[in-house]
Structure 1
Amino acid sequence: MDVDRSKVLVFGAGNFGSCLADHLGDSAHTVYIWSRDPKVVQHFNKFHHNPDVLRDHTFPASVKAVGPEFPSEEIIREVDVLLFAIPTEGVRETLAALKPKLDISNLPLLIFVNKGIEIATHALTLEIIVDTCGPEIAKQATFISGPSFAKEIVKRQPTSVSVASLSSEHADKASQLFHQPWFRCYTGDDPIGLELAGALKNVYAIAAGMSDGLGFENNTRASLITRGLAEMTRIGIAYGASPLTFLTLAGVGDLFLTCSSSTSRNYTVGYRLGKREKIDYIIKTLGSVAEGVTTAKALKKIVNDLDVSAPIATAVYEVLYEDQDVEERARWLMSLPPIRELDLPEHAAGKPAQRLLQKLELAV
């Protein structure tokens, strides 16, 4: 694989998939971007514009749309990189369709940028990869996360992200592929923690939006972000992730961005809930996916199974799925008894991560 001039196939023509295709296409790579919508494919190839997202942006000629049929075996075996920028709920189906087309003796670099937890199984993407493609492919998979709004990436505004994999070799390759003077990559070896951080921060962004929607200001938002980080870290440790991962760009960096920007979809959901709109109407009129809504349901099950204290995440779940009043839940959070600020578990079993590592054949 020539990291300076690679061929890349991007699954997903949404905001993030499109902006990363643009970034890579502008970095001397040849890029195919797959969409299920024939209108998107035709419009993109004719005008070098995406009619659904980033509408004002002109994409380089090195980026070509393919679809709506699933990419052929010929294309899949031609490319050096497969980049997945689809919602987590679609990853299992996509990988199941992809597996028979892969050349196992000459695998491309697999990069995942989705942020979420599968609802039915409560699985992270790493586990979905194991289930569909096997442990050897999963051990090579790489994950990218961090504070990275699509509209700023296409403007070439300075952006930094975390890149994690169980294979340092593949993390380095992904980092080199993306790294540019306007786009910095920092590698790590904790994809489980990176995935948890990327998924969980969306739930706390909903909480931050609720706070602003209720009319609370800076003190409240700062408290929510800080205590949200404490909850994320506590959940991560109990799950089996490294606590340090939550201090990275994928952790506190992405949490801060998503909780403090009115352009965040998850923040917007929370803000509208704070204004007393109903969640069904918000989802219907949002115009895009807010993964924090579904993640909140999966997270509630994880929190219960791990027996971890996560009152902010619990309150978000109760507003979303139990029709609890958002202002009443805010009062409940503030009326909880005082606790030690640094109350992370000292001896966590980490059973979910242990089970996943056994699937990966990395633990007994």
Structure 2
Amino acid sequence: MQRTVKSILVLGAGSFGSCLADHLGDSDHHVYLWSRSKEFCDHFNQHYRSIHQLKDHQFSTHITAVGPQFPSQSLIDKIDILLFAIPTEGVRSNLAALKPLLNFERLPLLIFVNKGIEASTQCMTLEIIADELGPGVAKAATFLSGPSFAKEIVRRQPTSVAIASLTLERAQKAAEVFHQPWFRCYTSDDPIGVELAGAMKNVYAIVAGAAEGLGFENNTRASLITRALSEMTRVGKAYGANPLTYLGLAGVGDLILTCSSPLSRNYTVGKRLAAGEKIDDILKTLGSVAEGVATSKALKSVIEDLELDLPIANSVRRADDFSVAFVYTGKDVKERAQWLMSLPSVPELDLPENELSEPVRRLRAKLGM
């Protein structure tokens, strides 16, 4: 494949943003990695090493760290690709800061790798883009998701991901930028399904980690993953997503990974909660963002608006005050497990009808669909 060298700005120097910057730099692209930390930028540009995550990795010399100020107009003007590796809760404010710097007649390719739902609005990233930059930009945006731990990407472990966009040509362009013998990309025209899968699997990973923390083993994990996949598919179907998306990399692939490994931040949160630690202490010492904690709040509202019965997802938060049922009161973990297992028997496969609920009508209106 003939590869054209691109100028790429990665917004967010956490573990995933850094590992993708390294992957792209190692593919001979010119990469700028933005961080709010002056200490990070100075150290990285001198040593090509991070002071935060992936500290033992020697990064590509094709990367230049920029910051702590927001990227300048002159830098934005020469960028071909903007990659957003910012937690979902920070996407809106950063898009607002970026908007006056963009040339809408020559927009860079926008790639988003965050996996979450905005807690205060119940918006997916696709909706946030439409709010801040307009429906045309949202339709052209691309979303990368799939089973991909940062620590393994930087070691060039074979990895496959899905890249989705409502404009399939854009998804293909993003795939060409990332595609390498060790990093295989599959394209999709279902960003709604891909986004929902990536957001929801983080919530289920907390539950899976808690199950292991309680001493439950392989039967339990397999049951949780399978039923979680069913719940994810039902939400996707209600939004008009393709149910087959959930059998792919962004669905079952990422779900299996995050529900089975201590490298998963959300899984680690659940396991530590089951051991009796408090959520505030866990988040302070985790070292990076576990998006499932914030997403669980938004997901609770989404489930209620869709009028779906999703017992595993519903077990994570109480309906009254959105406090996490066993995340903020560790004593409830075993009680919740017993509650789930005592539910009555129901049909295993049951997809909802495609009736336009309020979240779906809102999304379609924002996208002009």
TM-score, normalised via structure 1 length:
0.97
Equivalence for 1:11: 11
Partner of 2:326: 319
Q: Say which structure is richer in helix.
A: 1
| Match in the other structure for 1:125 | 125
Deviations 1:163-213 (A, max 9, x none): 000101100100000000000000001111111000000000001001000
Per-residue CA deviations over 1:248-281 (Å, capped at 9, x if unaligned) read 1001000000000011100000001111222222
1:297-355 residue CA offsets vs partner (Å, 9 max, x unmatched): 11011111111011111112222356661001100000000011112214443542343
Identity %: 65
Letter in 1 for 2:337: A
Quickly say closer, same or farther: Cα 1:239–1:351, change in 2 above 3 A: farther
1:239 deviates by 2.5
Range with greater deviation from structure 2 (63-72 or 230-239):
230-239
Partner of 1:42: 42
Contact 2:10 2:32 in 1 (8 A): yes
Match of 1:67 in 2: 67
Task: Identify unmatched segments of 5+ residues in structure 2.
Answer: 318-324
1:112-145 Cα deviation digits (max 9, x unpaired) = 0000011111100011001111111111100000
**Residues 9, 81 of structure 1: 8 Å contact kept:** yes
Matches within 5 A, 1:83-102: 83-102=83-102
Aligned mate of 1:352, from 335, 359, 363: 359
| SS of alignment partner, residue 260 of structure 1 | coil
Displacement of 1:286 after TM fit? 1.6
What are the equivalent positions in structure 2 for 1:71-220 lying under 5 Å apart? 71-220=71-220
Kept in 2, the 8 Å contact 1:206–1:267? The answer is yes
Q: TM-score, normalized by length of structure 2? A: 0.95
* Aligned length in residues: 361
Q: Distance in 1 between matches of 2:250 and 2:336?
A: 28
Output the CA distance in 1 between the equivalents of 2:60 and 2:268.
Answer: 31
Q: 1:21 to 1:191 in 2, by over 3 A?
A: same
Q: Letter of the aligned partner of 1:24 in structure 2?
A: L
* CA distance in 2 between partners of 1:53 and 1:116 (Å): 20
Whether the 8 Å CA contact 1:199–1:292 is kept in 2: the answer is yes
- Which is further off, 149-158 or 350-359? 350-359
Query: Contact 1:233–1:243 (CA<8 Å) still a contact in 2?
Result: yes
Q: Which moved more, 1:272-281 or 1:97-106?
A: 272-281
Bigger CA drift: 238-247 or 253-262? Answer: 238-247
| Alignment check: 8 A CA contact 1:241 1:350 kept | no
Mapped pair 1:339 → 2:356: no
Contact 2:278/2:328 (8 A) holds in 1: no
What secondary structure, in the 3-state scheme, does the structure 1 residue paired with 2:250 have? helix
1:258 is aligned to 258
* Structure-2 separation of matches of 1:348 and 1:283: 38
SS at 2:31 equivalent:
strand
5 Å matches for 1:268-347?
Answer: 268-317=268-317, 318-321=325-328, 325-347=332-354
Q: 1:322–1:277: structure 2 CA closer, same or farther, 3 Å change rule?
A: closer
8 Å contact from structure 1 (residues 4, 28) kept in 2: no
Q: Which residue is equivalent to 2:55?
A: 55
Between 211-220 and 269-278, the greater mean CA deviation after superposition: 269-278
Check conservation: 1:210, 1:272, Cα contact below 8 A: yes
Distance 1:87 1:120 in 2: 14
The CA distance in 2 between the partners of 1:352 and 1:193, in whole Å, is 14
